[in-house]
Amino acid sequence: MSVPSLTSFTTRPKQPLPPGACDTHFHIYDHSLPRLGGASIPTLSGTIEDYVKLKNRVGLTRFVIVHAISNYGYDNTVSLKAMQVLSDGTDNTRGVTCVPVDITDAALENLHRQGFRGIRFSAKPGDTVSGGLLTLAGVQKLAPRIAQLGWHIQVQQVGTNLADLEPVLMKLPVDIVIDHMGRFPIPLPPGYAHWKAMLRLVDSGRCWVKLSAPYHGSKSGPPNYEDSAALGRELIAAAPERMLWGTNWPHPPVKSNFPDEAICLDALAEWAGNEATRVEILVDNPAKLYGFAQPPR
């Protein structure tokens, strides 16, 4: 049997997505534009044209592009082009990027006008960096400035250092968004300190979590990633009003046997347990965090 590629799926979610359903986490790549030295780029896909096929197949209508920082650094050209294609003149697209610590207020305001609503920080043990650009100390300096725009800090951590980051994150004057359910080891070790830190952050009322990339830490694998379900359900039970969903397309860490986003959306419906919670995660929560209008019901 052939291994499915990023563009070979034809399935659709069992339940049609509600109006305003949002993919809060995906990346766009452009093979024709320069990238940072040593940066990899997906070879099978990653273009805006391929993403349009995906969003049409599964029924997504709102979008948050997470700028491919390790490929393009502070240059938002690729993300901005994709945002223009997806928005098509409507207010349905946002972005998350990375900025230098010494960015001017005028430059921040321009990014806000272009649709950006947060900065991403990739945190590994030892005060890591986003694509070699932004340190934890830099995040602390930027946070009060982006707070004036209503932006948030998006954190990708590796499941083994969140308890160490927690004291700093709790003091930031902005909301926090945790990528990919925290990328924890599965199954969780008993009494795992970093998972307890995640639940404390969620309980603070200022932390959002992306129920994305269930393959991180999964041992059961596609198509359903059953062993990730327990984490997803526990997070939804803790704070359904601050859960988000994203594809993480084109799945940078995956090299073969790619996830089917329609099946991942079916899994989300199971984790949510009821339609009202599914709509909350797909529509209402992204509207609150990213500033979309609530669609009529």
Whole-number Cα distances in Å, 81 to 11, 61, 243: 28, 17, 28
What is the total count of domains within the chain?
Answer: 1
200 in any annotated domain: yes
Strand order in the sheet with 93-97: 22-26, 62-66, 93-97, 116-123, 152-157, 175-178, 207-210, 243-244
What's the mean pLDDT in 272-283? 98
Containing structural domain, residue 42: 22-290
Q: The whole model's pTM is what?
A: 0.93
User: Is 76 inside any structural domain?
Assistant: yes
pLDDT confidence of residue 42: 63
Residue 280 in any domain: the answer is yes
Range name among 24-38, 216-230, 275-289 with the lowest pLDDT average: 24-38
Does residue 6 lie in a domain region?
A: no
Query: What is residue 2's predicted lDDT score, i.e. its pLDDT?
Result: 41
pLDDT category at 217 given cuts 50, 70, 90 is confident
Angle, CA of 59, 63 and 65, to the nearest 5°: 135
31 lies in a domain?
A: yes
CATH number, domain of 156, equals 3.20.20.140
What stretches of the chain show up as alpha helix (H) in DSSP?
48-58, 69-72, 77-87, 105-114, 136-147, 162-171, 193-203, 229-238, 261-272, 275-279, 285-290
pLDDT of residue 1: 33
Whether 282 is in a domain gets the answer yes
Calculate the average pLDDT of the chain: 90
In a domain, 153, yes or no: yes
Q: Are 250 and 213 in contact (CB under 8 A)?
A: no
CA–CA gap between residue 197 and residue 36 (Å, rounded): 34
* Residue 43 binned pLDDT confidence (cut-offs 50, 70, 90): low
pLDDT in tens, 129-183: 445 578 888 999 999 999 999 999 999 888 888 999 999 999 999 999 999 999 9
For residue 127, name the pLDDT band (cuts at 50, 70, 90). very low
32 within domain boundaries: yes
